[in-house]
Amino acid sequence: MARVSQEHLDARRRQIIDGAALCFARNGFHATSMQDVLKEVGLSAGAVYRYFRGKDELIAAIVSEVLAEISGVFEAAARQSPPPPPDVLVGRVLSEVLDLRPGMREGARSSFPRLMIQVWTETLRDQHLSALMAGVYARVRAAWVAIVEGYQKAGMMRADIPADHVARTMIAAAQGFAAQYALFDEVPVEALQDGVRALMSMGEPS
């Protein structure tokens, strides 16, 4: 019975976090009230406050989860051996990011990139979350540095450019795509893949 009871508690907590994440993705952390969250998840205030003492605690839980999910995708990509070409690798990573949290889809469009932007903004005002973000970014960067070093050893990429600089640029391309997806109309993953492929081909005969 205890196991079933814990499963129920975990499922209810998941329901609250998922519903709140969708609210925050739509309207931002600070324009969203706890009343909005209660309406989204269809629970009483007492039921929600059993798990989270307030909105700040709920925000912290969501930020922590989002950062963990994103870092998991990036680090898993870094473990591929041998790694696919950069355009293929970046495309796979972004496709997986868009598939995170299927419940955050509105039609065919993922709301997850909108939540990512809210998370980035929140880390600018919260010292604890900022430190968490810095740690996650350091792990992701280290993983992608290893990928770039693999490309360089295989002769797929110039070896005279610091691997860390290339890794930062690849991560920036993925972050920029997420921002474009959240802020503007449909941006297909293939557009970034094509762009990376074209940049890789500079200097090659047409």
User: Could you read off the pLDDT of 104-130 as tens digits, one per residue?
Assistant: 777 778 888 988 898 898 889 889 889
Res 78: pLDDT: 80
What is the rounded average pLDDT of the residues 135-150? 90
Let me know: does 56 contact 62? Beta carbons within 8 Å.
Answer: no
What Cα–Cα distance (Å) separates residue 45 from each residue in 50, 60, 112? 8, 19, 26
Residue among 74, 69, 96, 48 at smallest CA distance from 140? 74
What single letter denotes the amino acid at residue 1? M
pLDDT in tens, 18-70: 999 999 998 998 899 999 999 999 999 998 999 999 898 999 899 888 888 88
State both tokens at 152. Answer: 């360089």
Mean pLDDT of the chain: 87
In a 10 Å sphere around its CB, with 0-12 CB exposed, 13-18 middle and 19+ buried, how is residue 93 labelled? buried
d(CA 140, CA 143): 5
Res 204: pLDDT: 59
What is the rounded average pLDDT of the residues 139-147? 90
Q: What is the pTM of this model?
A: 0.80
d(CA 189, CA 184): 14
What Cα–Cα distance (Å) separates residue 152 from each residue in 85, 92, 156? 12, 21, 6
Contacts of 156 (CB under 8 A, 6+ apart): 85
Res 205: pLDDT: 56
Res 1: pLDDT: 43
Res 16: pLDDT: 93
